Structure 1
Amino acid sequence: MTATSATPLLSMLLQPHGVICLEEGDWLRLGPSGPRAQAWFVNAQTHPNHRAVQLDVVLELWTGRVLIESFGGVGETAEEAERDAFENFARGSLHVLLSAFVRPPDEHVTVEEWELSGVRRRIIFGDIQGRGVQVSREASRAWFDVLERALKTLPLVSGTHWLRVYYAQMQSQPKMLEVLLDNEEWPELKEALLQAPWPRAPEFLSQRLFLVLQGGVDVSRGVAAFVDPPDRDDKLILEELRAQGATPLEAEKVVAYLPLAFGQMMVHDMGPRIPDSAIFVTEGTPNERPVFLPEDPLWREAIRLAKTALEGRSLTRDQFGAIALRSSTIHALNNALNAGSKPEDLVFAPSIIPLSTEAATELHSQAPAIRRPAPAPPPPVTPTPAQKPWWKFW
């Protein structure tokens, strides 16, 4: 698939909207401290009577957190198809993105507050965009109401998310329903929307909605704080997370969980057994409290982000290592390997996570953090020969 840069055209679109675009290599910095953006034309096609192209707008919100919005364009010439794609972007997502990440909301978006998964969130969305046969506002509102009800019942980790819904039909028959959360399919929401009262028409009809959800602690902001710049002191990361709205306990969990999660991902294939539990201890006291990590949404999100980073989909290798090498697991593993141990023979004890008095008070006001014992370790298996990890030669 060929790709042609459309970033200069994106800059031309943004400047009349009052956005200062600063060139940073292949990127545009939106304002002095805003996100970075790129745009690309991909999948250009020539048909007997028209040209078609896909526009991908890429927004790096912060290090390791990338948003992609795609739009089709059609025209008699390649230039008309490209112009049509940008017009679709301008109508469908541009003002939502600017209102969420660059400047205060404007009159082109709606801002509401919904409670989702126990977190009060700000929801920013524009008008539902239609192509082909046009339908009434009431017909569009009917399926939007199903979307809102479903969002208020489905589990969703706190932090920043973006949601795209696209529906298309031809001759009164559904042809496509795309439901993407953070550019990944969301099967549960799609299942709910399959039952929505979508509009029907004898000719082509499509409906598209883009929205951004914000609220609660965002673990991905912790990832960015660890690597941009690297080697930042934990205290500074805590302060940054608190400034973004995290509670003391949330901030301290994120700072503890991310190195542990990234470290576990780094050594997973080497065979050591690492428990799913940890122990919170209050600084300066003998107080201890066990936690079953998979029950904590912040831990699950840390693991998900670590897996994504390990696959090379969000961070560079050096950035991944900058977080993983802070882990006590990695330090203990290196010491054991230097002493001659085999990684597949190692069994780690639960990690000790110190908490400040303020965070410990918040923790003890909550329901018990451990509700069932950690599962027994799996039976021994014949291991494959250990390979030296890329971060250390022992």
Structure 2
Amino acid sequence: MNDNRLLQYESQLNNFLTEAFLRHNIECNIEKDLIVFPHLYMTAWTRIFNRSSSPMATILQIDIHLEIGMGKTIIESCAGMGMDEDTAIKDAWKNFLTNSFHTLLSAFFSKEFDHHINNQQWIIDGRTYDVTISNVTTRGSHPDPLPLRWLEQLEEIIRIQSLTEGTHWVRFYYAQSESELISGEILLDNEVWTGIEKFVRTFDFPTYKDFFSMRVFMVLKDHSDISRMAATMAWMVGEDDDAIEQQMMADGLSLSDADKANTFIPLAFGRVFLKGITTAGFSDEAIVTDETGKETTIKLSDEPIYTSAYRLAEKIMKEGCVNQEHFQNLFIQSAEFNAYNNALKDGAKVEDMNNARFGEPVIYMPHYQPAEKKEYTTENIITEDACKKKKKPSWKFWKK
């Protein structure tokens, strides 16, 4: 299959995906090569790959990309087989609709069709996750009824992991033939979950004389997803702080955390952008003022929303994101970026500004609450034991 033919099929698959969401009452439209969900601050698109190794059959892989937050994209891969391309695409598309579509639909779009999936709440590392699990889909001949002790073991091992805050997704695939394991693959956030892969292979899987495979897809969500906060701010650029914070609160944030997100995300993005083009230095301290004018000095490194936003901005600077304009929408709100930009406009020399040292930002946050001091590791390992408010004035200014 040549590249032009693949592009034609990708366009067709974008139409399929749009129609699937529209049939489930989810507003979306196609803009260029992206499916846009204007009220949910997300985009989607498809990719297709030819995996055929024999002229006697066609094997295609469809990747459905769903950008759930700035710099965070779920990729669900489904394979299809047939005597020709059209048959293989129909097979792959059927597999996506059967296994993954309703999981994504329930996790991010609508609870109206939850009878197709299994919703639970799990406590993982002290945080509550809303967990959306697909039905087990199978191929081939298998024992009937299908034993599911392995699915319980999968849940047990995930529950005792240490996960970073935010949204995660897990794809599990098992295949066997003649009672021998062929594949036991588990992915976390699109990458092989090396920390538990060897344990997963020891689960109590059913065996059978013929080939069969099993597949499960799940999404784990907590409300502290900095990529979702950043996307909300980027899509709502130009609207006032109250509207943005009300939207974040509707997504599950507290008033204090919505206030912090609206403050710390542009600060972090501006610093990362400036670090990418200069050797400027920044203070780890900031001064928070409340409605009475009382000042409290804080360490930004103690604020998870700030540190998570900083890591996200670094990732986007390195890897990019779907909409580069959204990234710009955030860093240009930074007072430090504006100070740098205005100084250049006023005639400052680039070489002098490149070594600028910024003092502590003074931040107006009437509902500030200190963050809980808890360290979250980026490693995923097995443990030993199994409201409306008063509109703010402009908050960003700098001590001389």
TM-score (norm 1): 0.77
Shift of 1:30: 6.7
8 Å CA contact 2:43, 2:68 repeated in 1: yes
Question: Which residue of the partner structure matches residue 281 of structure 2?
Answer: 273
SS at match of 1:311: helix
- 1:355 has 2:362 as partner: no
Q: How does 1:132-151 map to 2 (within 5 A)?
A: 132-135=140-143, 139=147, 141-151=148-158
For residues 103-130 of structure 1, the C-alpha deviation after alignment (integer angstroms, 9 at most, x for no partner) is 2243211111112233322211121223
- 1:181 has 2:188 as partner: yes
Which among 230, 237, 240 is matched to residue 237 of structure 2?
230
What residue identity is the alignment partner of 1:155?
Answer: S
Counterpart CA distance in 2 for 1:91 and 1:101 is 17
For residues 298-352 of structure 1, the C-alpha deviation after alignment (integer angstroms, 9 at most, x for no partner) is 2332123212332353243332222112113323434666544635533333433
Counterpart CA distance in 1 for 2:283 and 2:179 is 54
What residue identity is the alignment partner of 1:150?
Answer: I
Which among 249, 260, 279 is matched to residue 256 of structure 2?
249
Counterpart CA distance in 1 for 2:129 and 2:35 is 28
8 Å CA contact 2:42, 2:69 repeated in 1: yes
8 Å CA contact 1:292, 1:369 repeated in 2: no
Counterpart CA distance in 2 for 1:34 and 1:311 is 22
Which among 342, 350, 356 is matched to residue 352 of structure 2?
342
The count of corresponding residues between Structure 1 and Structure 2 is: 363
For residues 90-113 of structure 1, the C-alpha deviation after alignment (integer angstroms, 9 at most, x for no partner) is 211111122223322432111111
What residue identity is the alignment partner of 1:291?
Answer: K
Counterpart CA distance in 2 for 1:118 and 1:330 is 37
Change in CA separation of 1:19 and 1:41 when aligned onto 2, cut-off 3 Å: same
For residues 219-259 of structure 1, the C-alpha deviation after alignment (integer angstroms, 9 at most, x for no partner) is 22321232214333333322221222211221122112211
Counterpart CA distance in 1 for 2:325 and 2:28 is 28
What residue identity is the alignment partner of 1:126?
Answer: S
SS at match of 1:68: strand
Counterpart CA distance in 2 for 1:352 and 1:137 is 64
Change in CA separation of 1:8 and 1:291 when aligned onto 2, cut-off 3 Å: same
List gaps (5 residues or longer) in structure 2. 376-400
What residue identity is the alignment partner of 2:358?
Answer: F
- 1:114 has 2:98 as partner: no
What residue identity is the alignment partner of 2:156?
Answer: R
Shift of 1:85: 0.6
Counterpart CA distance in 2 for 1:369 and 1:11 is 41
Change in CA separation of 1:167 and 1:313 when aligned onto 2, cut-off 3 Å: farther
Counterpart CA distance in 2 for 1:47 and 1:298 is 51
Change in CA separation of 1:333 and 1:278 when aligned onto 2, cut-off 3 Å: same
8 Å CA contact 1:272, 1:347 repeated in 2: yes
- 1:70 has 2:77 as partner: yes
SS at match of 1:45: coil
Change in CA separation of 1:214 and 1:137 when aligned onto 2, cut-off 3 Å: farther
**Identity in percent:** 27
Which among 217, 225, 231 is matched to residue 224 of structure 2?
217
Tell me whether 162-171 or 12-21 shows the greater mean CA deviation. 12-21
Counterpart CA distance in 1 for 2:364 and 2:193 is 36
For residues 31-60 of structure 1, the C-alpha deviation after alignment (integer angstroms, 9 at most, x for no partner) is 986855433432252514311001122334
Counterpart CA distance in 1 for 2:70 and 2:297 is 33
SS at match of 1:208: strand
8 Å CA contact 2:117, 2:135 repeated in 1: yes
- 1:124 has 2:132 as partner: yes
8 Å CA contact 1:309, 1:315 repeated in 2: no
Which among 290, 293, 306 is matched to residue 298 of structure 2?
290
Report which structure shows greater RCO (CA 8 Å, sep ≥6). Answer: 2
For residues 41-83 of structure 1, the C-alpha deviation after alignment (integer angstroms, 9 at most, x for no partner) is 3225251431100112233446655332110111222222112
Question: Which residue of the partner structure matches residue 378 of structure 2?
Answer: none
For residues 241-286 of structure 1, the C-alpha deviation after alignment (integer angstroms, 9 at most, x for no partner) is 1222211221122112211221122122422233444444434333
Q: How does 1:42-57 map to 2 (within 5 A)?
A: 42-45=49-52, 47-57=54-64
Tell me whether 307-316 or 64-73 shows the greater mean CA deviation. 307-316
8 Å CA contact 2:74, 2:189 repeated in 1: yes
Tell me whether 115-124 or 199-208 shows the greater mean CA deviation. 199-208
SS at match of 1:53: strand
Shift of 1:24: 4.1
Question: Which residue of the partner structure matches residue 333 of structure 1?
Answer: 340
Counterpart CA distance in 2 for 1:170 and 1:276 is 57
Counterpart CA distance in 1 for 2:28 and 2:83 is 31
Change in CA separation of 1:179 and 1:232 when aligned onto 2, cut-off 3 Å: farther
8 Å CA contact 2:71, 2:315 repeated in 1: no
8 Å CA contact 1:75, 1:84 repeated in 2: yes
Question: Which residue of the partner structure matches residue 45 of structure 2?
Answer: 38
Counterpart CA distance in 1 for 2:30 and 2:340 is 43
Change in CA separation of 1:204 and 1:232 when aligned onto 2, cut-off 3 Å: same
Change in CA separation of 1:368 and 1:129 when aligned onto 2, cut-off 3 Å: closer
Counterpart CA distance in 1 for 2:253 and 2:27 is 30
Question: Which residue of the partner structure matches residue 327 of structure 2?
Answer: 320
Alignment RMSD (CA, Å): 3.4
Counterpart CA distance in 2 for 1:343 and 1:79 is 58
